[in-house]
Amino acid sequence: MENEILPLGVMTNVGLDALPHLEKVKNLGLHTCQLGNPPDEYVYGERADELTQKLKDAIKKTGVKISSVFIMYKGHIWDLIDGPKTIGLVPEQTRAPRVVHACAMSNWAKKVGIGVVTSHIGFIPIDAASLQYKGFIETMKAFVSFCKANGQMFAFETGQEPPKVLRRTIDDIGMDNVRVNLDSANILLYGMGKPMEAVEAFGEFVVNTHIKDGKWPTEPGKLGHEYPIGDGDVHYEEVLPALYKKGFRGPLTIEREISGEQQITDIKKAMKIMEDIKSKLLKGGG
């Protein structure tokens, strides 16, 4: 499975006992996953080494590969009103402590052997001449350099800016370890564009994906609604072949932002849909 093209995976958390979470991934018949920001105990404090070693043991026991770890920050508000002031590294008032956490996470990922770190960076300013944007770019250059020193790529999570703005940001950072975690649904949920616009703008930078579905916002200030794969407006039968033509061969990481049995049902449905699209694509039918 090491060199599998477009391997299916799933987004997962680990809690304070990683093994059951990775076993759930394995029991779905999957061999790769993207890890949500682990509890602070993995990164800070007296149990950090113990918990990190247990995670490494769980990876070895299950054979599940962690393709990326997602860095999150406390205080996010997931909407279109307070989101620009609270999400990621763009807001100046919270930037400094969050960069410290991001660097700590990069160091932790290196210990685990994870080569890609991903994050919601925030609502990137449209105005490239603004002081906020210029300060943000300098911060990102420093953080991306930090990741490079740890042998890692940094991947932008998509959604909170139009695709052409993210492409401009990648170009302005100008480093060879900048990549994208393409969440096609988020581009719709935030009302920032269409998935195919994202593939065209920065498809060659995509190193990982979040496979979920969604629709455009309908209520002022609120995000659009997430749906099971096939029920929204992403249209992976168009997006995936276009992304493949741009050179993407990485993980198709299924994400369903609910819990319980319905989440498992929807993940299994997504697996079937993505396997069908993938099969046609690899046979030359895409």
pLDDT at 206: 98
User: CA-CA distance, 27 to 32, in Å (whole number)?
Assistant: 12
> 128 lies in a domain?
yes
pLDDT at 2: 65
> 1 lies in a domain?
no
User: CA-CA distance, 75 to 94, in Å (whole number)?
Assistant: 9
pLDDT at 286: 52
pLDDT at 59: 98
> 3 lies in a domain?
no
> 161 lies in a domain?
yes
pLDDT at 277: 97
SS (H, E, C) the chain: CCCCCCCEEEEECCCCCHHHHHHHHHHCCCCEEEECCCCHHHCCCCCHHHHHHHHHHHHHHHCCEEEEEEECCCCCCCCCCCHHHHCCCCCHHHHHHHHHHHHHHHHHHHHHCCCEEEECCCCCCCCCCCHHHHHHHHHHHHHHHHHHHCCCEEEEECCCCCHHHHHHHHHHHCCCCEEEEEEHHHHHHCCCCCHHHHHHHHHHHEEEEEECEECCCCCCCCCCCEECCCCCCCCHHHHHHHHHHCCCCCCEEECCCCCCHHHHHHHHHHHHHHHHHHHHHHCCCC
> 2 lies in a domain?
no
Residue 158 domain boundaries: 8-282
Indicate which CATH number applies to the domain containing 176. 3.20.20.150
pLDDT at 3: 79
State the pairing for strand pair 252-254/8-12.
parallel
What's the N-to-C CA distance of the chain in angstroms? 22
Number of folded domains that form the chain: 1
> 18 lies in a domain?
yes
pLDDT at 248: 98
Residue-wise pLDDT tens for the chain (286 aa)?
567 999 999 999 999 999 999 999 999 999 999 999 999 999 999 999 999 999 999 999 999 999 999 999 999 999 999 999 999 999 999 999 999 999 999 999 999 999 999 999 999 999 999 999 999 999 999 999 999 999 999 999 999 999 999 999 999 999 999 999 999 999 999 999 999 999 999 999 999 999 999 999 999 999 999 999 999 999 999 999 999 999 999 999 999 999 999 999 999 999 999 999 999 999 985 5
> 117 lies in a domain?
yes
DSSP state of 251: -
> 273 lies in a domain?
yes
User: CA-CA distance, 242 to 277, in Å (whole number)?
Assistant: 12
